[in-house]
Structure 1
């Protein structure tokens, strides 16, 4: 059996004081690709934020890449985020610097010192997402799909054990969504675990995988029937 890298038991997810999800019990194993689906407002983003330390886990138990979410201290969050890669819907690239400098900033912030190694790593991750020649461009000079590829490259910088992708195709047209999905599939094939929140059912049909659904304050696994 492959090891569990994300596990929650009877967890309650809160956004400030309001309960968003209750009695959440699930696990994601190393090497899995898991979808998280659900309507807007069903708790997907709050769930993701709890996993990367933006929201505290106040009830139940939970661990992610070896960190206990119930005991997570403020000062440990940067270390947690080195072991997970986060891909956001709105890219979150810094507009005032080019792509190489965007990635350089992340490496510096996560403790890298050697500039030669940093440059090598940046080239490696941009190459993985098909953006090797675009490092000198600024975010506004790239299309939405290209910006999301860069965001995926950024999530790979610290060789994360798990990638959390929160609606990574939410701002993209269908054709570009498929291209970005192919990049994520390639990364998954290289042995990485991915948890992807999405409401793009066309992608799920095209690339079926284990699917969790947020609905009625709960998260449960959806059994996919053959179409």
Structure 2
């Protein structure tokens, strides 16, 4: 018979262990409409991990990303992400899920008709922020994290592709997400700029954020090795990099 103190200790540890799992997929298969894209995926991602998804274009990396941020329904298997059950997720819950996930796209997706600051204000207002001073402070904070603090009043066309991607990463950080999904974030960038973006992402990861990054840039994997899942022939499997 456990004492009350011992029970409390075990209960707290149980909660802590559960809360460390950011993403869990069990026996998951992913479909685009009725076409099977990936099958038999089993994956657990813990808080603070940096995980690569690699594979050729069309191998399913973007499809699994869409399932994770609820753009595609999970039809087969079990999935939870940032404490949301992907099997039972309702339409009205999707905006709340996405507030706990930061998403970085290959093509930046900045609004071209407004400044960098106004792009970020748009996201904050859409996710429930109302106080102008709090919004200004948050925008300054996230832009500083990506080295773009002096660019708030620039228009997207006035800055480079790499700078636009930095802003996109800042945008993903606005609501202090538990997980960042980066879908080919260096896909439209030259090699040197890709390295700069990776440095930003690795710094964010070093500060405790969990990051899943889809890429087909093997040079980045060699320079910044981390746990890697390969997508090939409708399957997903872990690959281990061997040092030469």
TM-score by length of 2: 0.92
Alignment of 1:207 onto 2:211: no
SS at match of 1:203: helix
Out of 105, 111, 118, the residue aligned to residue 128 of structure 2 is: 111
Aligned length in residues: 227
Q: Displacement of 1:16 after TM fit?
A: 1.2
Q: Which residue of 2 aligns with 1:147?
A: 164
Q: Within 2, Cα distance between the matches of 1:195 and 1:92? A: 19
Q: Which residue of 1 aligns with 2:188?
A: 171
Q: Deviations over 1:119-160 (max 9, x none)?
A: 100000000000000000011111000000000000000000
Q: Within 2, Cα distance between the matches of 1:144 and 1:65? A: 30
TM-score by length of 1: 0.99
Alignment of 1:68 onto 2:85: yes
Alignment of 1:102 onto 2:119: yes
Q: Deviations over 1:19-49 (max 9, x none)?
A: 1001110111100000000110000000000
Q: Within 2, Cα distance between the matches of 1:68 and 1:224? A: 32
Which ranges of structure 2 fall in alignment gaps of 5 or more residues? 1-16
Which ranges of structure 1 fall in alignment gaps of 5 or more residues? none
Q: Which runs of 4+ in 1 moved over 6 A?
A: none
Q: Within 2, Cα distance between the matches of 1:71 and 1:218? A: 25
Q: Within 1, Cα distance between the matches of 2:230 and 2:120? A: 33
- In our comparison, the structure showing a higher alpha carbon Rg is 2
Alignment of 1:77 onto 2:77: no
